[in-house]
Amino acid sequence: MQTRRTLIRNSSLAAAGVAISHPATLLAAPQPLFPDGYPDRNDIINAAIQSALAAGASYADARLSHKESLAVYKYAPGRTENMAFGVRALYKGYWGFAASPIWSTDEGARLGAAAVDQAKASVLGRDRVTDLAPLGNITNGHWETPIKQDPFKLDPDEILDFNYGLLSFIRSLKNMGNIRTMFFFERNNKAFGSSNNQFVTQTLYSASGAVEFDVRDKDTQSSVGVVVEELSHAGEGYEYVRERPIRDYIRSVHEEALEDLKLPVKPVDVGRFNILVDQSGVANLLSKSVGSATEVDRVFGFEANSGGTSYINEPESMLGTLKIGSSLMNVVADRSHHGSVGRVRWDDEGVEPVRQNIVTNGVLTDLQTNREGASWIRDYYKSSGLEFKSSGSTSAPTALDVPRVHKSDLHLVPAADNTSRDSLREALGDGIEFRVPNISMDFQQVTGVIRGKAYEIKNGKRTARFADAGVLFRTSEIWNNMYSIGGSDSVRYYGIFSTKGQPPQNVASAVYSPPATFKEMTVVDVKRKG
């Protein structure tokens, strides 16, 4: 598409003598790799599945992915395109996987047989029992992330001009220091098929941004770092940029930073304090302490050699009984919300994700599962009356990657009233407030540290900034000490990346979280050495 903006820019570039590889491309956007649509992906996938079944597989699935990304930031723009084809096969209870970048029926036949060969290598005498939870009603078809504007069909000048404009706007604000802006768009065309006669396709979009800057006091040389927390990974198109009031976000955090600079900075008092943690902090706490801990493969020791295990170490007896938090704590896993980065119609095993109650009134009531993992807790599902099926938590960055259980989109259910972060601060009276803190947790999610921007709260007002304040906590302690929580209007969305597995996979999932207050937490100076 050529716009007036493009024409003006190209004309000026040409006038400046800017050389490019082919003059003809000056005005024309590169052609898409598949201008007339994809080759028949069903044929390619079917070749792989038939090959795997012919080689003796009891089950096989195959995935194709075509992922395009565009990064817009200050230097060196980047455009990436990746195609992948992965086949997974089950043979006598053992899994094999084979993947390459080649989409063809011939390659499908090779990968199908190779996946079975991989599985067969481990059949050396001892049984491995692998049950797959039933799929229920198998659905086929196509689904797309509902977006308003495809960033890959947009004139890139619009994205660039927006970024330049944003940089100029930020530079115009008072006492500005270093600035970093970045926007990232991704389109992933996926196809999945399995020996259960299922074939589905999806087009998933995501967008993310990062706006960070320092606000400096020129007299004292002190500075406050600012992150626009509303910009995180989301399941949106270009409307992510066009419709969000990004300048309002920036004005708001800039004003907050200017207020921060007026506050005195004090060393933190070590001891027990009631604390207020903002939405960002609670979201990260939830993702790490509950999201990671309730991934079924982690619970059963499949991540022991990489990320670690889980405090849920006896799932058979802990499901339905383990008290993780106070009765205010209700955690739902749900991948169906509009705008969620984890939203899909089918996961990478062809399962339609279900809404789950992970924590109910503070008690652990479910795990995030794939089809195999669900079978490990089948008895619990039977005894509790829950349907025995995968929760649909399987995903992988591309089809080249082995599908694994990753975090679903998590929701910490807010209070029924309209409690805001400001009203929680007022109700806190005296204590400490944490804004956009980091959460570090150990390799079993048992203990952790909250650290980051911290404020002294006196009579419900910010009266000072604390340098280097942190909170040491145990997971059960902090969630059981949660005594108030924000209402639905205070809930904010965060797209959070997590790394998992060997080789490591980076996958984003969403967390919806209100702010919350926690009583009598152990506050420390995190930089104080032993």
Partner 1 sequence: MNMSDYRRVNTSPERVFNEKEARQIVDEILSYMNKDGHARVQVSSWWGAGQQWARNRAALNADQREVTVIVSRQFRNIMGSAITNQTDSKSLRGIVQHMDYYAARWPNKVPPDMITTRAASDVRGADVWADETYNRSVIDNAAAIEELTQLSERENLVSSGYMETTGASSLTFTRDEWGRAEYEWGMVTQAQCSATVRHPKGVGSAWVGNTSFSVNRVSPSEIALRAFEKCKQALNPVRLEPGRYQAILEPAATATMVGLFMRMFIRSSPEEFAKGPMFLGVDSSINRYRSKLGLRIIDERLSISHDPAHEYFGTHVAPLHKKVDFVKNGILAGLTTHYLAHLNETSDIYPVFPTSSYRVSGGDTSIEDMISSTKRGLLVARLAQPESLDDDSGLYMGVTRDGLWLIENGQITRAVRNFRWTESPLFALNNVEQIGVEEQVFDPVLSRNPFGNSSYSLSLNNVVVPPLKVNDFSFTSTIDAI
3-state secondary structure of 327: coil
Question: What is the footprint of partner 1 within residues 18-37 (CB under 8 A)?
Answer: 18-22, 25-26, 29-31, 33
Nearer to partner 1, 73 or 483 (CB): 73
What is the token pair recorded at 62? 């195959």
Q: How big is the CA angle at 491 (ends 355 and 497), to the nearest 5 degrees?
A: 65
Nearer to partner 1, 94 or 455 (CB): 94
Question: What is the footprint of partner 1 within residues 335-354 (CB under 8 A)?
Answer: none
Buried/exposed code over 268-296 (b: 16+ C-beta within 10 A; e: otherwise): beeeebbbbbbbbbbbbbbbbbbbbbbbb
Nearer to partner 1, 79 or 251 (CB): 79
Instruction: Give Cα separations from 467 to 369, 526, 528 (angstroms).
Output: 41, 9, 11
Residue 526 beta carbon to partner 1: minimum distance, rounded to whole angstroms: 6
246-262 helix and 156-171 helix, angle to the nearest 10 degrees:
20
Nearer to partner 1, 427 or 472 (CB): 472
Q: Considering only residues 92, 244, 323, 474, which one is a binding residue for partner 1 as defined by CB under 8 A?
A: 474
Q: How far, in Å, CA of 428 to CA of 1, rounded?
A: 55
Question: What is the footprint of partner 1 within residues 53-112 (CB under 8 A)?
Answer: 74-84, 94-107, 110
Q: Considering only residues 53, 117, 420, 436, which one is a binding residue for partner 1 as defined by CB under 8 A?
A: 117
Give percent helix, percent strand, percent coil of the chain, each to the nearest 5: 25, 35, 40
Q: How far, in Å, CA of 511 to CA of 492, rounded?
A: 8
Say if residue 77 is preceded by a cis peptide, omega within 30 of 0. no
Nearer to partner 1, 157 or 278 (CB): 157
Q: Considering only residues 124, 221, 262, 385, which one is a binding residue for partner 1 as defined by CB under 8 A?
A: 124
Question: What is the footprint of partner 1 within residues 252-311 (CB under 8 A)?
Answer: 300-302, 304-306, 308-309, 311
Contact between 4 and partner 1 by CB under 8 A: the answer reads no
Contact between 168 and partner 1 by CB under 8 A: the answer reads no
Residue 424 beta carbon to partner 1: minimum distance, rounded to whole angstroms: 27
* Total residues interacting with partner 1, rule: CB under 8 A: 92
Q: Considering only residues 52, 64, 119, 207, which one is a binding residue for partner 1 as defined by CB under 8 A?
A: 119
Question: What is the footprint of partner 1 within residues 236-255 (CB under 8 A)?
Answer: none
Nearer to partner 1, 122 or 336 (CB): 122
Question: What is the footprint of partner 1 within residues 381-400 (CB under 8 A)?
Answer: 400
Contact between 40 and partner 1 by CB under 8 A: the answer reads yes
What is the token pair recorded at 269? 């008092």
Contact between 160 and partner 1 by CB under 8 A: the answer reads yes
Q: Find all residues with CB under 8 Å of 61, minimum gap 6, and list them.
A: 49, 87, 88, 192, 193, 194, 195, 349, 350
Residue 133 beta carbon to partner 1: minimum distance, rounded to whole angstroms: 18
Nearer to partner 1, 240 or 300 (CB): 300
Nearer to partner 1, 30 or 385 (CB): 30
Q: For 437, how many CA atoms within 13 A lie in the half-sphere containing its CB?
A: 32
Question: What is the footprint of partner 1 within residues 396-455 (CB under 8 A)?
Answer: 400, 402, 438, 440, 442-447, 449, 451
Residue 18 beta carbon to partner 1: minimum distance, rounded to whole angstroms: 6
Contact between 529 and partner 1 by CB under 8 A: the answer reads yes
Nearer to partner 1, 294 or 517 (CB): 294
Nearer to partner 1, 9 or 462 (CB): 9
What is the token pair recorded at 308? 């670690």
- Which ranges of 207-335 would DSSP assign to H, the alpha helix? 239-242, 246-262, 279-286, 296-299, 315-318
Q: Determine which helix (DSSP H) or strand (DSSP E) holds 89, and give its type and residue range.
A: strand 78-91
Q: Find all residues with CB under 8 Å of 12, minimum gap 6, and list them.
A: none
- Residue 179's nearest CA partner among 73, 281, 79, 260 is 73
